[in-house]
Amino acid sequence: MTKIAIIGPGAVGGTIAHDLLPTFTHLTLVGRQSQTITYTESTAPNTETILNVTAIDEFDDLVDILFIAVKIPQLDAIIQKLPNFIHEDTIIILAQNGTGQLPRIPHKHVFQAVVYISGQKRQQHITHFRDHQLILQHSPSTQQLQHLFSNTQLDITLVEDIDQSIWYKLLVNLAINTVTALSRQTAQVLKVEGIQTLCERLLQEGVKIAQAEGVIFHQDVISEIMTIYQGYPDQMGTSMYYDIIEGKPLEIAGIQGFLYQVAHKHQLATPTLDTVYPLLLAQQQ
C-alpha cells in the first residue's frame, strides 16, 4: 500500500490528486484547512469531481510519495513541517515553476519536476485547461514512480538531462511573466511597441546565463519561444500576472531572482534583467 500526499490543493496539486485518486485510495490532498474543493475539465464544464482537502495541521501521516505543489513564496512554511510527513525513503517531488529551491529541502530523494499542467484555482474551484505531465530526471526512484503511475492520467516523463528541461521552461516563463506582471496586462501586452524586443533581450540574457551554467541551447531557441508567445490568446494571463493582480506574493525568487543571482555569480552583463528584477521586487513592497 503506497501512501501519497499532495501539499497544495491548487491548480497543479488538485490535478495531480484528480489523476491519481481513482487508482490510489491512500492519497491525501493537504491544504491550509480542511474543506472540499471541486475540479472541472475546461472541456467538460458540467462535470465536477469533489476533492477532499485535509488541513496541514491535522495531517501527520508518514507518506511514501510527497508532491509539493505550493507556489515558491509558500515553500518555507511547508519545509518547516516536512518532518511530520516524510520517512527516510519518501520520494519528494517539487512540482513548481522556476528552479533553485531544491537545496532548501534537506532530504535524500527530492526531485524538481518541470510542470506541464495548466489550470487555475478560483476560490474553492479548480479548472483544468490542458496537460497532465511532470518531467523528472531519470533515476531508479523516478523510474519507480513512472511505473507506479503508468495506469493513471498523470504522465511522468523521464529525461536524462533535467537541467535542459528546467532551463527551457525557465526561459519560457522569464520574459512573458515579466512583461505581463510589470504591465499588469495579459498577453495582449505583446502588441505594445517595444515589448517583443524587451522579451527577446530578456531571453538573450537568459540563454547567456544558462550557457554559463553549462546548459546550451540551439541557436533558434529565442525565435522558438517568441513563436510560442505569439500563439498565446490576447486574454491569456500568466501566473505572475494573476498573482500581481490578486496582490499575492510573486515567484520571483525561482525565476528572475534565480537568474539574477546566477548572472552575478558569473559576472555576466545582463542589463535588461538588472532593470526588471528590482522593478518586480518593488511590486512586493
Ligand X SMILES: NC(=O)c1ccc[n+]([C@@H]2O[C@H](COP(=O)([O-])OP(=O)(O)OC[C@H]3O[C@@H](n4cnc5c(N)ncnc54)[C@H](OP(=O)(O)O)[C@@H]3O)[C@@H](O)[C@H]2O)c1
Residues that bind ligand X (CB under 6 A): 7-13, 30-32, 56, 69-72, 74, 77-78, 95-97, 115, 117-119, 121, 239, 251
Q: Toward ligand X, which CB reaches closer, 56 or 244?
A: 56
Pick the closer one to ligand X by CB: 80 or 219: 80
Amino acid at 167: W
In terms of residues, how long is the chain?
285
In the bound state with ligand X, the residue whose beta carbon lies nearer, of 12 and 195, is 12
- Of residues 212 and 242, the one with the C-beta less far from ligand X: 242
Rounded Cα–Cα distance for residues 54 and 32 (Å) = 8
The minimum distance between CB 269 and ligand X, in angstroms, equals 28
Question: What is the nearest approach in angstroms of ligand X to the Cβ of residue 122?
Answer: 9
Shortest approach of ligand X to residue 270 CB, angstroms? 22
How far is the C-alpha of 32 from the C-alpha of 9, rounded, in Å? Answer: 9
Q: Find the residue with minimal CB distance to ligand X.
A: 10
- Provide, rounded to whole angstroms, the least separation between the CB of residue 74 and ligand X: 4
- Residue 246 per-residue DSSP state: T
The DSSP element (H or E) to which 259 belongs, if any, is helix 256-265
User: In terms of CB distance, is 78 or 262 closer to ligand X?
Assistant: 78
Kindly give the pairing relationship between strand 63-68 and strand 86-95: parallel
Q: What is d(CA 250, CA 230) in angstroms, rounded to the nearest whole number? A: 24
CA 215 to chain centre: 20
CB of 100 or CB of 119, closer to ligand X: 119
Measured over the CA atoms of residue 78, residue 79, residue 80 and residue 85, the dihedral's sign is positive
Q: What's the number of CA atoms in the CB half-sphere (13 Å) around residue 32?
A: 6
CB 117 to ligand X: min, Å: 6
List, as one string, the DSSP characters of 153-184.
S-EEEEES-HHHHHHHHHHHHHHHHHHHHHHT
Q: Could you tell me the smallest distance in angstroms from the CB atom of residue 268 to ligand X? A: 25
